[in-house]
Amino acid sequence: MTQGHLSGQVSVVGAATAGIGWDTRNSVSEIMAEAANKALDDAGLRLAEVDGVFAVTPYYWMPSATLADQLGIQPKVTDSTNIGGASVVAHVGHAVRAIASGQCEVAVIAYASTQRSDGGKLVTGADVLPYERPYGALFPISGYAMVMQRHMHDFGTTREQLAKVTVAASRWAALNPEALKPEPLTVADVLASPLVSDPLRKLDICLVTNGAGAIVLTSTERAKKLRKPAVSVLGTGESHSHCYVTNMRSFTATAGVESGKAAYEMAGLGPEDMDFAQIYDAFTIMVLLGLEDLGFCKKGEGGGMIDAGIGPGSRLPVNTTGGGLRYCHPGMFGIFLLVEAVRQLRKECGKRQVETARCGLVHGFGGVLAGNATVILGVDT
Amino acid sequence: MAHTDCGHLEQILVSENIPPRPLPDTRNAGEKFWIAAAEGVLLVPKCTACSRTFWHPRPRCPHCGSTSVDWIKATGNGTVHTFTVVRQSGDPYFKTKLPYAVAMIELDEGVRIMSNIVDTPLEVLRIGMRVEVLFEAAPGGIAIPLFRAQSRGA
Ligand SMILES: [Zn+2]
Give the mean pLDDT of A248-256.
98
Q: Identify the domain containing residue A348 by its residue range.
A: 4-120+206-378
Residue at A296 is within a domain: yes
Identity of residue B103:
A
Identify the pLDDT of residue B25: 96
Confidence at A363, pLDDT banded by 50, 70, 90: very high
Q: What is the CATH number of the domain that holds A284?
A: 3.40.47.10
Q: Sign of dihedral through CA atoms A30, A32, A36, A39?
A: positive
Share of chain B above pLDDT 90, in %: 85
Statement: the pTM of the whole predicted model exceeds 0.80: yes
Mean pLDDT over residues B135-149, rounded?
97
| Chosen from A124, A127, A129, A135 to mutate, greatest number of chain B CBs within 10 A | A135
State whether A130 and B85 contact (CB < 8 Å).
no
Residue B2 has pLDDT above 80, yes or no: no
pLDDT of residue B8: 41
Nearest-Cα distance to chain A for B87, in Å, is 5
Whether B115 shows a pLDDT value over 60: the answer reads yes
Asked if residue A253 belongs to a domain, the reply is yes
Nearest Cα to A96, choosing from A226, A213, A217, A230? A217
Whether the CB-CB separation of A121 and A115 falls below 8 Å is answered with yes
The answer to whether residue A29 sits within a structural domain is yes
Number of structural domains (chain A) is: 1
Q: For B83, name the nearest residue in chain A, comparing CA atoms only.
A: A146
Cβ of residue A132 closer than 8 Å to a chain B Cβ: yes
* pLDDT at residue number B126: 98
Residue A315 placed within a domain? yes
Determine the Cα–Cα distance for residues A187 and A166; give it in Å rounded to an integer. Answer: 8
A60 belongs to the catalytic site: no
Q: Which residue of B has its CA nearest to A139?
A: B89
Tell me the mean pLDDT in the region A292-317: 98
The shortest CB-CB distance from A137 to any of B81, B88, B102 is to: B102
CA B63 to chain centre: 22
> Does a structural domain hold residue A22?
yes
Q: Note whether A333 and A280 are within 8 A (CB).
A: yes
Do the domain assignments include residue A295? Answer: yes
The pLDDT score that the predictor gives to residue A373 is: 98
Mean pLDDT for all residues in chain B: 91
Over residues A209-227, the mean pLDDT reads 97
Q: Is the pLDDT of residue B72 over 90?
A: yes
- Whether A295 has a pLDDT exceeding 90, the answer reads yes
- Dmax (CA) for chain B in angstroms is 47
**Percentage of the residues of chain A whose pLDDT score is greater than 70:** 100
pLDDT, residue B11, reads: 47
How confident is the prediction for chain A on average, in pLDDT? 97
Residue B16, pLDDT score: 59
- ipTM of the prediction: 0.95
Quote the CA–CA distance of A287 and A322 in Å, as a whole number.
12
For residue B21, the chain A residues in CB contact (below 8 A) are: 134
For residue A248, being part of any structural domain is answered with yes
User: Within a domain: residue A218?
Assistant: yes
Residue A67 has pLDDT above 90, yes or no: yes
Q: What is the pLDDT of residues B34-45, one digit of tens each?
A: 999 999 999 999
Question: Is A327 one of the catalytic residues?
Answer: yes
Report the pLDDT value the prediction gives residue B1, as an integer from 0 to 100. Answer: 35
